[in-house]
Every structure is written in C-alpha cells, then in structure tokens.
Amino acid sequence: MTRPFLLGLTGSIGMGKSTTAQMFADEGIPVWDADATVHALYARGGAAVAPIAAAFPEAVVDGTVDRGRLRTALAAQEGALARLESIVHPLTTAARQAFIAAHADADLILLDIPLLYETGADAECDAVLVVTAAPEVQRDRVLARGTMTGEQLDLILSRQMPDARKRALAHHVIETHSLDETRAAVRDLIRTIRSRHA
C-alpha cells in the first residue's frame, strides 16, 4: 500500500484554520495539530519543560511552562526565540513523524501547522492548503476572542509570513468567509486528492 498523502494546512491567525481542520476531522481524515502538540510538550511531564526551564527558568511554574512568562522572557532576551525554537521544533517534528507512522494505513493525513512555511515543514508535505479571509474579517475574528489587543495582533502578524505570500506558495487555497462554502471546498479538495492519488 502506498503511504498517506500529507496535506499541510496553514494560515495566519484568525483565518479559520482550526475550523477548517475540524472539517477535515469530521470527514474522517486524521489531523495532527501542531498547537495541541506544543501544549502537551509545555504541560506537566511534557518533554519541553526541563529544557525550557534550563534556558528560561522564569518561564516554568509548578512544572509547567507558563506561556505568558515565556512571552515576556522572549521579548526581553536577544536570540531567545531561536533558542526556544531549537528546543521545541525537534520535539514537534518527532511527534509529527510518530503521528504519521501511527496512521500509515490512511490515504490522507492533514498536518495543521500554523508556522508551516516559517519552520520549513512544507518540505515534508505533498501539498499545502492555505486558508484565507479578508484582512478586516481576520482582525474582527481575532479581537472578538478577547484574548489579545490590536497591538498584540499586529506584533504576531509582523512575525508571520504575509498572507499573500502564503497564498502564492500554496497548492490549494480556501476562503473561509462562509462555513457552508468552506465545508464544501474541504469536501471537494478531499475528493480531488483521492482521485489523483488513489
């Protein structure tokens, strides 16, 4: 049997990536979630806790990584982000490879990776899907969550590859303005991939 087709999913914050990933899961497609993996690595007993404690002692509280304290540490230290990435990326790569191996009998696997292009993970994918929305829709969605300010959003966006560049690199693009249209586009894409790679 051939190996699973690996479809990478990415998109800037507020573009509907998590909703789209859930739609793939609803269609029976195994979904690997990079964010959930990082949360597990940062939790008590997670593989990233000890190395992060060594690099950023102020960021670990009661055996877990405190994301707020970690953000503060990253902002305060030159080269801190590269140091953090050198800890976290090998661990997430190993988790992703284990997930793929565990679902070797699937015909299609979705790899939900927010920083897919930024981390070079697109090289492991057979194709990449980028989800997108108008900038004002993106901003409204993020600010409606109530978890960050407009200034914090702007800082995040400044560190992410621009949406236009992601779309230019992608094999597939889905606009996420409407749930029904997004779901239909997801189903169409699954059919297309299966017909081409059966």
- For residue 20, is it left (φ>0), alpha (ψ between -120 and 50) or beta? alpha
Under 8 Å between Cβ of 22 and 9? no
Under 8 Å between Cβ of 132 and 163? yes
- For residue 109, is it left (φ>0), alpha (ψ between -120 and 50) or beta? beta
- Which residues does the annotation place in the binding site? 14-19
Adjacent-strand bridge partners of 31: 110
Residue of 127, 107, 123 whose CA lies nearest to 9: 127
Residue of 116, 149, 140 whose CA lies nearest to 21: 116
Residues 6+ apart with CB under 8 A from 115: 10, 34, 121, 160
Under 8 Å between Cβ of 182 and 19? yes
Adjacent-strand bridge partners of 132: 175
CA distance 149 to 29: 34
- Which residues does the annotation place in the binding site for ATP? 14-19
